[in-house]
């Protein structure tokens, strides 16, 4: 949520930002905000004047009563009564208009960075840099489900019977590899100075509306029937929510946190063959990184965060590239975002395995996350980034480490988490 003072002082900048995001249908919201804001100001002024008058009249009533002028006192009491009734009406109207204003404000996108490329959707994202050579082996690479099933590590059929489409069983050494990658990612981030956390896996609606846009919430979140609880789509949701309505001491910043959680997503819509299997699923696990910092430090942290993901994948010998997300591909709360994509030798292209975002103070404003300075309380900046999200990244892993005989090589950095295993071989 942006600062309403920006709309008051430079509404055209806000409108131009909406145009850059190709959301012209939201342009009228800016003027609606200004109208509501003016109405609320008038109500506040009227209410303040009535309260001031009430205080003054109360003094006069006391004076008249002392003088024995009961009739005049009663007349003023009637005026005070009417004023009180009007104050109650004003407070009710003000509450209703403020609720409408907040809803509109939460629908207006955050101001995007000047270096965000302009484009309508993810097809217009811009490659920034590649890391490690993207190689194509001289043998045919099977579909990832075939590779994993031959290793005895994947059971989709049973999952369809127990849970439906979009679920899976990981088994044996493949399940161990999945856990090894998460454990390695955890230790990798701890070595970077991040504090490890395991958060709640369900959050209330006020946290949901604070961490994401309405469109995202509808498309992603699972609601717990009969309760004000949602399953998290990423641990960022509950990690940022932890600081809702808090004032952090300035000397405690930055807060650098890495969190593990299962994640649950609706993943609506039809997808192509390469997005079946374990690519687009309803349940997965993820290691995340979250930073809460001062505004002047957020750009530096943004560059650190995505570089950590690149470093992690390179250490596992998986070629990746970074991709600057264009304006039309940014969620409303994001100031800028950079995707990390892994190389798929089978598809001969890269696919997303992580995303780094700087939300400036947009998320903090929704949730009331501030820090204390000598000049007063200031809204913090929040950032988040995927460390690793298996099992999707297993697709890139098995394709890039596949041998012609169907076995999978285990990179050195993971071997200690695999009990010294250097290779996973197909089951007979």
- Count of beta carbons in the 10 Å neighbourhood of residue 2: 20
Name the strand (E) or helix (H) holding 245: none
Q: Which domains does the chain have, with CATH numbers?
A: 4-105 (1.10.287.40), 122-424 (3.30.930.10)
Reported as a single tens digit per residue, the pLDDT across 198-250 is 999 999 999 998 888 766 777 788 999 999 999 999 999 999 999 999 999 99
Reported as a single tens digit per residue, the pLDDT across 329-356 is 999 999 999 999 999 999 999 999 999 9
Reported as a single tens digit per residue, the pLDDT across 24-62 is 999 999 999 999 999 999 999 999 888 888 878 877 777
CA distance 54 to 84: 8
> Under a CB-based contact definition with an 8 Å cutoff, are residues 231 and 261 in contact?
no
- Count of beta carbons in the 10 Å neighbourhood of residue 249: 9
Is 275 a residue whose pLDDT tops 60? no
Q: What is the pTM of this model?
A: 0.89
Cα 314 to Cα 151, 307, 407: the distances in Å are: 24, 10, 21
Candidates 292, 267, 261, 269; CA nearest to 216 is 267
Output 380 or 72, whichever has higher pLDDT.
Answer: 380
């Amino acid at each position: 949520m942006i600062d309403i003072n920006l709309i008051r002082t430079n509404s055209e900048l806000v409108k131009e930002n909406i145009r850059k995001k190709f959301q012209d249908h939201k342009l009228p919201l800016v003027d609606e905000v200004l109208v509501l804001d003016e109405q609320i100001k008038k109500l506040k002024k009227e209410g303040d004047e009535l309260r001031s008058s009430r205080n003054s009249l109360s003094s006069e009533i006391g004076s008249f009563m002392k003088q024995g002028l009961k009739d005049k006192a009663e007349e003023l009491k009637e005026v005070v009564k009417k004023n009180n009734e009007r104050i109650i009406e004003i407070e009710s109207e003000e509450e209703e208009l403020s609720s409408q204003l907040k809803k509109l404000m939460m629908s207006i996108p955050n101001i995007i960075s000047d270096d965000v490329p302009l484009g309508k959707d993810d097809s217009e994202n811009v490659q920034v840099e590649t890391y490690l050579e993207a190689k194509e082996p001289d043998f045919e690479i099977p579909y990832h489900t075939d590779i994993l099933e031959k290793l005895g590590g994947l059971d989709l059929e049973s999952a369809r019977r127990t849970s439906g489409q979009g679920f899976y069983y990981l088994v044996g050494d493949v399940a161990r590899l999945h856990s090894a990658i998460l454990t390695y990612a955890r230790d990798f981030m701890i070595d970077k100075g991040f504090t490890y956390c395991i958060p709640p896996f369900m959050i209330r609606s006020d946290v949901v509306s604070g961490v994401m846009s309405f469109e995202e919430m509808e498309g992603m979140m699972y609601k717990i029937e009969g309760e004000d609880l949602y399953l998290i789509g990423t641990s960022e949701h509950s990690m940022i929510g932890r600081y809702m309505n808090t004032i952090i001491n300035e000397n405690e910043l930055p807060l650098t946190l890495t969190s593990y959680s299962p994640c649950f997503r609706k993943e609506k819509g039809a997808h192509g063959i390469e997005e079946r299997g374990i690519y687009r699923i309803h349940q997965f696990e993820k290691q995340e990184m979250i930073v809460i910092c001062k505004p002047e430090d957020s750009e530096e942290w943004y560059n650190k965060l995505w570089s950590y993901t690149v470093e992690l994948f390179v250490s596992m010998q998986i070629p990746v590239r970074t991709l600057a997300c264009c304006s039309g591909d940014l969620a409303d709360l994001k100031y800028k975002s950079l995707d990390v994509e892994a190389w798929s030798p089978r598809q001969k292209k890269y696919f997303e395995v992580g995303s780094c975002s700087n939300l400036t103070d947009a998320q903090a404003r929704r949730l009331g996350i501030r820090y204390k300075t000598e000049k007063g309380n200031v809204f913090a900046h929040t950032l988040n980034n995927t460390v690793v999200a298996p099992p999707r990244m297993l697709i890139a892993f098995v394709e890039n480490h596949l041998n012609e005989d169907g076995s999978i090589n285990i990179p050195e950095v993971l071997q200690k988490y695999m009990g010294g295993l250097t290779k996973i071989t197909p089951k007979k």
